[in-house]
Amino acid sequence: MSDLNPENLRLEDLDAVVRQSEETLRRLSGVFGELESVTGEGSGADGLARALVDGAGQIKEITLEPRIMRLDSQAVAEAVTEAVRAAQQAARRANEELLRAATGDPLPLDMDEARRRFEDIGQDLVRTLDDLARD
């Protein structure tokens, strides 16, 4: 929104910006609830190690097939690491897809950064409204 030029802005443009912002916020409020239920699954060593993580990438479950015990400890550790990383990537992709569907542009997964971006958008809108009120 920072590219809006108040000198060229018409009331209809402002109405459209407000409507678009309200719609985006409405979609985002629904998405934040969905983000809480996002999980990611991944596997390593041809499925001998499996991991399940939540939307933040925190491990919820690790499952090891009995046959994995035939591997040495280093190979087991690598398989588990591979499974967790794959699960975290799957969760990240699911989060990004939800956010992209709501906004058309993926937000950063760091919630503090996302909050800062929303604040910046809000400040841009307030500045535009203030500029219009002065004219």
What is the rounded distance in angstroms from the CA atom of residue 75 to the CA atom of residue 70? 10
The more confident residue out of 77 and 34 is 77
pTM of the model: 0.61
What is the rounded distance in angstroms from the CA atom of residue 131 to the CA atom of residue 135? 7
Confidence of residue 2 (pLDDT cuts 50, 70, 90): very low
pLDDT of residue 16: 76
pLDDT of residue 95: 86
Inter-axis angle of helices 111-134 and 11-35, nearest 10: 160
Which tokens in the block code for residue 92? 């990240």
Which tokens in the block code for residue 120? 């910046």
Task: Give me the phi and psi of 45, to 5 degrees please.
Answer: 50, 50
25: buried, middle or exposed (CB in 10 Å: 19+, 13-18, 0-12)? middle
